[in-house]
Structure 1
């Protein structure tokens, strides 16, 4: 897919960046502080897990409901 937002520049000089899979779904988001959140998706494109910049992981069931988390 085309047209995804790759970078947002903020007036304070910071920026956010995004990466996507071939379906146009967000895989990573890096915020203005340089902290990256990652998403791993299953074959249907639904999230399997999400890990934030501090290493906290949230695992999802076959839906988008959180199933478990770890510090």
Structure 2
């Protein structure tokens, strides 16, 4: 159960599925403060692990079922 604090509402940039897995890219700035690769961020109640960081967003690897 997620018990953290909601910091902002992000926007999905893209979802790239390849077979049974893929990459979800999220545009969000505030939540990035202090975030590093490997950290967890809750997205719509699902805990995702940050796999890359950009100046205004992040990506996370996902399974196809997560997108459904």
Q: Please classify the TM superposition score into its range, dividing by the shorter chain length.
A: under 0.3
> TM-score, normalised to structure 2's length?
0.23
- In terms of fraction of residues, the more helix-rich structure is 2
> TM-score, normalised to structure 1's length?
0.22
Rg: which structure is higher?
Answer: 1
Higher relative contact order (CA 8 A, sep 6+): 2
